[in-house]
Structure 1
Amino acid sequence: MKRGEALLSSVVRSAADAIIGCDAQGRITAWNPAAERIYGYHCDEVRRRPVTMMYPTDVFERDWQVFQKALRGTPTGQHRTVRLRKDGTRVPVRMSFAPIEGVDGSVRGVVSVAHELTDEIRSEARMVAVLQATPDPIIGVDRDGRIVFANASCERLLGYHQDELIGRHARTLFAEEDRADLVELRERLFTDPRLRDETRTLRTRMLRKDGTVLPGETRLSWQDEPGGPLLVAATRDLSELHRAEERLRALLETVPDAITGISPDGLIVLVNQGTERLLGYPRDQLLGQPYARLIPEEERGRVAGMVAEVFAAAEPRMVIYTEAIRSDGVRVPTENTVTRFDTMLLVVGRDITDRVLAERERAQRLASLGQLAGGVAHDFNNLLAIISNYADLLGEEVNELAGADPDRWQPVADDLTRIQQAAQRGAALTQQLLTFSRRDLNRPRVLEPGVILRQLRPALRATADDRIDLDLDVAPDTWPVLLDPGQLEQILVNLCTNAAEAMPDGGRLRITADNLRPARADPSFQPAAEEGRRYLRLRVADTGAGMSVETSARAFEPFFTTKAKGTGTGLGLAAVHGIVGQAGGCLAIDSAPGAGTTMTVLLPAVDEKSAAVGVGGSPAGGSPGDGSSAGGSSAGDSLAGGSVAGGSAAGGFPAASADVPRPRVILLADDEDEIRESTARILDHHGFRVLTAHDGPSALAVAEQHRDEIDVLLTDVIMPRMHGGELAARVAELIPGVRVIYMSGYAEPLLDTEPSYAAAPMLEKPFTTANLLRILG
């Protein structure tokens, strides 16, 4: 017994709450240390004194009745009240009372436990201040649905004073037609606490005191109170949001583009007038329908995958090109910008029929121009070849005379040089016309970009003066591409030349090459870069004057130039466009006035291993145009003075090599008398014996007569009665091992249909004497 009393005494002394014992007359008989701390009295000061000395007048009667109730043997629950300290200040407390029973069961007195509420009340005061300052109306609702507290915002928004709301049914604050559902929800939430976490936010309609209905969003939370949980409802007025939505809807209706909202499960949830115009459906036939029904069946899988990517992407925006099916079954090409907005996708679609038609018309114009260019290229290049050849012949003789009498003959030699340069420029112009119209002669092969670019560095450096810093940055392991080596050179030289001309006062020219696999279709390129396709990316960036949007849009048009008259043909970038398009690639321009320009070329990558091919088609380590290899037209020697194209011989046409002795007897076949005569004179002047023929049958007759003498057949491709390929095959039968070299002003259509032409070198007209001699070895 004593041990138990000692333990109880220890608990009382160590308790944080004030514990006071009183006899039946209300005199204090016990006083623990917490009571000393809270009330300020030492235990000796209060012993045998009435406990009512700490009752403030305003609560005296009520609290004494609570004391008397405990004295009659009935314990009390938690009771909030105040007490007086020794210094006269009031202290808020939460108290409970219990009777003290004697051994015989009679009530001998009352014990009270008081918990100081000063800190809690301060916290409550802060919370009340926050509650009152909150702009949203907040109410507390008990199990019966009555309001037990309300903040000041209720008056501002709903028109009710706080005092009017206390005790009022909460359902009266909501629109009549919503009340039954809200009452049912409240009853279920109070009955089953498990539902509370599932129901946090509700769209509601609040009813003001004046009868006005306001759209709202109500958030629910719960507060545990001694009398049971309270439902706390904070409602935000969405009137301004709804007005903004109405303004947005009005704006959407004025936008000419088709705007469609799609839910995560693929249903149409938003339609504007632009969508109705584009598709021909009224919106009531679209809302709630699957968006996929508007897309051709063969496109649905691709589009669905891209849409899913937008929903999952960190940057939820994508441009999708597809056809849309109108109500009349007509397919309309569209460009669609897809953006994730909240929980739906917004699709802004635009009819691009005019753009598609314009592209087709441009392609038709390009084809027409190509036909025109191809039609005149053969004859024009033959004429230039005649001019160039006779200028070469005259030049050799006049140069000898100028050496003996420079005052008289040097001006003539200079004139002949200008004639040769003019012929070369004419050849370059013809070649550029053929290139941008995609009718030039090219022999694509698998190339290693890193090797080609490093070999091209001197040529690229030559496009810019010393005031321009040139950087070449080639990423390791760049993917190989299928392209004529000379065309790769032409792309870079043309782009670098343009960049250098944009920096007349100097600057920086940066050339980079790396790999690119677009994560999605990129419409910034012409045409759009394909999603997931492997590309070699070439970028040429300058710090020059930059271009306006209007200039950029026309940059690849043939004959469009911003240069002064006489300083540019407007075919440089058009030729680049033609080469890249022919290779299946795409182009992009990033430029702004004063911000420089970046030209980006994407060339499709291939899986094959690259051959050891150098610039201009030379084997790696060889010199351009040495006659031992193939090469297409390039921006350098090939455009200026003819080029040699071809590869190692096949089909019985061996190419020149270091082990083959220099040929002496050449069978020359060409239907143009002047070309045949001037070429024969050039060869004769350089120690060759030349046998000539004006067409294929004549050449065959000569070959039969001189089969034991002829080393080389040098033949035009396009000739009457028998083309060069057939002649070469017939001569090869007569003279096994004969070397075959083709000449052509323009033979691209024939070369495309005759694979045998790829077996021998091709000398493009007009050619220089140096090129002619180089190919002959």
Structure 2
Amino acid sequence: MAFLSGGAGELILAQDWTNTSLGPPELWPLPLKTIVGVMLGSAQPMFVVWGTERTLIYNTPYAEILADKHPLAMGKDFLDVWSEIRGDLEDIVAQAYRGEPVQMDDITLFMERRGYREEAHFSFSYSPLRVDVESVAGLFCACTEITERVMVQRRLMESEARARADAQRVQLALDAGAIIGTWFWHLPTDHVTADEQFARSFGLSPEVCRTGLGIEQVIATVHPDDKPGLMVAIAEVLEHGGAYAHQYRVLRQDGRYHWIEANGRVEQAPDGTPLSFPGILIDVESRRAAETALRESEERFRAAVQAVNGILWTNNADGEMQGAQPGWSALTGQSYDEYRGYGWAKAVHPDDTQPTIDAWKAAVAEGRTFIYEHRVRRHDGVWRRFSIRAVPLIDAGGAIREWVGVHTDVTEQREAAAVLERSREELERLVQERTIQLVQAQKMEVVGQLSGGMAHDFNNLLQGIGGCLAVLDRYVPDGPPRRLFTAAEEAITRGAQLTHSLLAFARRQMLTPKPTRLLSLLESMQPLLERTLGGLIHFDIDVPADTAPVMVDPAQLESAILNLAINARDAMPQGGVLTLRAGNASIGRQGEPGHPADLAPGDYVAITLADTGTGMDEPTLARAFEPFFTTKDIGRGSGLGLSMVYGMAVQSGGGVAIASEAGKGTAVTIFIPRAMEDEAMAAPPSPAAKPASRRIVLLADDDHLVRTGASAVLEMLGYDVLAAASGAEALKVLQEAEAVDVMITDYAMPGMSGVALIREARRLAPGLPILLITGYADQPEGVERCTVLHKPFRPQALAEQLAILLSTG
């Protein structure tokens, strides 16, 4: 097989051809052997494509064109070898296979033969190869790569274009009067002379420029940021000669930097020595400002596109995608070869492809703004819906230069709109429900404020009456007077309980929250709850072991649970089931359905008491938490049970939700914040009250009844009392009295409040023990290191607190 000698022939011999339609080389048709032999002996790049499989056989010079594709390309499908340019080659290969020769002097191809995409140019001829007169078996190609020649020609044309542009710019500058100076630089002597306009442009002396100066003096006023680039440009033109154009800023005599363009030419001696460098200056300040404005406008446009999460793309005047499209490539994963022309449509959903193309072509034909929506397959295979807006850019002649478009991802918006449409009625229902909840919460807040104020005033009345009764106690004989006296004391106790309930609802009771294990608390309560419910009601407790501890006043939580159990018992006179269950609950957002409207997001424990009783209708349910509202018979309830539960829960940082339906029972859920720790601190024991040894007490209270009763109790306890009806009067007494051992002051007094009085008293007598008494149940603000006693209080409680103050103060 002499025809396979040398170079690529050895590669052909080493190739396993047994599994191809050609078979081993010794069996190849004579025309193929002949052309391969000629090809292998040629110094020009050549190749043969043979058979329906388009088998590629090539010589050594063509291997250089294949680059990294060699030697694996030998014996492979020609179009598979050049898969990246398959679209450019298919038609001309088919033409040759039809028996038609093809010749091209310059074909532009974007090939990937060295691991990257590159532009290449070839001249070639395709000649059909026949095994007989009728049939074409393949093609023969002789080709020459002319890439370097084309690139040189292109650079030459670009250089000539720049020269023409420079000349045109100079001519335009001359016509417009934009030339602002001329110079002549004698290079062998480094002697620069220039006219007066040049001197003004560079901030130099006209006289010095006329007589001449060195280049270093000329460029001294060039902006520091522009000077390195200027020096490089000058060095290059001095080395190569020819035309020169460069833009930079110079400092003028007005102290401002100004953009200029220097245009000149370096003349050289025959041996290449630079001789002279004449030139002119052109004012380009306005042009640079316009370019800056254009650049900023483009940046704003890009920022606007990014702000709407848009994908920017451009098409030519005919509506075909060309050039680099980084946004589209990043979105779809398509390469240039895949998206160019109308290839982008392959990334559009099949159901949307043709409608999109039709609508786009219609917009291009009419030259109008294109607005559309379709689905696009993202690079990861996910379909997303995009809104499209494209506008034509018009040139000075009124023709469309190109199209600029933006794809904006609107998937979430459209899905949200669909959900909104489907759930409009549900949304209206939720809004109505939330509005009712808010109105109810506001009503409860107003009623709570009113109830708290009433409780405060009532506590003052009870304190006055109680103080007087305490003094009269020793003078009341047994028999009917004593029974009446005892009844009066019981009335005060019941009144205090009533005000306590009102204050609980108003969230003004004194709470002592601490980490509390719910399961332990309920186990200790279970006997009491079972006795309260009676034998007709089955009682279940369901509290998982992993239920978190809660931060709550245990006594108040016990009272709330007991109140709810009593309500459940009264709602099941014929018996039923009461279930108490608890568990951890997390609230993600305020106003979630089934939760209290004003419950803040966070971690809670939900405690639910659900009965199978009579339940409530909607009007009754809407008023369930109102104080004094009850559906029980007269004398069977105060209407404060649920109000107390509501107030305790909210004051503890939680809330209450209630669900009920007439005839189907009621479920009340208390939400209590989870505790951060699980250790409760025991309160230190109170010291026993000690008898007074005629100590002096300063008593300040604006309520005459309270002041009179408290004075009587204090005197009964063995204290001397200095009474004052206001804070100002108490300060005067404190200043004038010989001695005061302890001061008792009311919290809410007109003029100077109890808090203000305490501050002034501590300024006058820093070590004075002070006891603050108040008809409110919450801890007063603005007092520190001060003991608080809540009205109404018994004489024993007063005595104990005074004993503590006097023993430690």
TM-score range, shorter chain: 0.3 to 0.5
Question: Which structure carries more relative contact order (alpha carbon 8 Å, separation 6+)?
Answer: 1
- TM-score, normalization: structure 1? 0.43
- TM-score, normalization: structure 2? 0.42
